[in-house]
Structure 1
Amino acid sequence: MKESDDWRIVPELTPGDTEPLVHKSYGDSFEDTTLETVLSGLEVGRLLVAGAESDACIRSTLHGALVRGYDATLVSDAHTAGDRTAWGAPPPAQVIAHTNLYWTYQTAPGRTAGTVETKDVDFGTS
């Protein structure tokens, strides 16, 4: 629930005073948020995506970024999935592997996609 203890950012990840904070309620981090406005203001055109729920939030955000014209790279060893095997989903390791596999080969006109391991992440502008 919004504004509940579960909604709050853990102290170890508290953003700095100059870091933008975007609250989201849907899988796609662009959906009904200020993310696109924040990125535009910072002149960002390339996203490195990492986080939780490979088969939901990560997947939705990657596609949301690509269709909005951003280059979108998945950090292949920096996303995770909850265990949904009780509902018929594959085990988390398979979900992660599948997400990495299909995003490695994702394409769109004039945009780049793909995966990169954490050790190879480059925060440069190219």
Structure 2
Amino acid sequence: MSTLGKRSATALLVIDVQNVVVDGAHRRDTVIANIAALVERARRAETPVVWVRHHDDGLPYGSEGWRIVSELSPADGEPIIDKNYGDAFEDTALEQTLAARGVGRLVVTGAETDACVRNTLHGAFTRGYDVTLVSDAHTAGDKTAWGAPPVPAVIDHTNLYWAHQAAPGRTAGVVATDAVDLAGQG
């Protein structure tokens, strides 16, 4: 159980699945299809879906590259959090949005694994949330030219270390799309 008191609800967090962010990303279509399936399941279960969009000098707010991919579409009333730091909690209304919905557990999907997904995972966990990463619903682009490992290794490593996170009063875990429980654990 999270350390956030009576906040027992779960939310699905969809991070930065924007045109330019996932253009050429590893297993792009499969990851987006997995996210779309989770969004549909969340809506049927009346689990909040919270969308996150990044913008900065290289990704201008309102540009075509900034838009959420056409395969995914926020529904009316689903919050969209605009951010310009890696951690979606930094200088945004994400915490207030989740608190207003009684959310203490996040199911995390999106891009990029080695940047905004990882930063937001840690940001949520240190703020007291239970955090489940969906192993086959996050991705990144190739950064080997800058010395990073190949993307499959980045994803595998993130899944491995997130499965072993621990802290008092909080849970962390990793599950595949088909095993996600939007109401409870896993």
Q: Shorter chain as normaliser: what TM range?
A: over 0.9
2:129 to 70, 73, 79: 70
Aligned residue in 2 for 1:19: 78
Aligned residue in 2 for 1:109: 168
Matched, 1:60 2:119: yes
After TM superposition, the score normalised by the length of structure 1 is 0.94
Q: Which has the higher strand share?
A: 2
More divergent stretch after superposition (44-53 vs 3-12) = 3-12
Given residue 122 of structure 1, which amino acid in structure 2 is its aligned partner? Answer: D
Aligned length: 126
Provide structure 2 residue ranges, at least 5 long, that are not aligned to the other structure: 1-59
1:22 partner SS: strand
* Offset, 1:8: 2.2
Provide structure 1 residue ranges, at least 5 long, that are not aligned to the other structure: none
2:94 to 25, 31, 35: 35
Q: 1:11 to 1:89 in 2, by over 3 A?
A: closer
1:12 partner SS: coil
1:49 to 72, 93, 108: 108
Aligned residue in 1 for 2:67: 8
Matched, 1:121 2:183: no
Q: For 1:91 and 1:64, how far apart are their aligned partners in 2?
A: 25
CA deviation string 1:91-121 (max 9, x = no partner):
0000000000100000111000010111100
Choose between structure 1 and 2 for higher RCO, CA contacts under 8 A separated by at least 6 residues: 2
Could you list the runs of 4 or more consecutive aligned residues of structure 1 that deviate by over 6 angstroms after TM superposition?
none
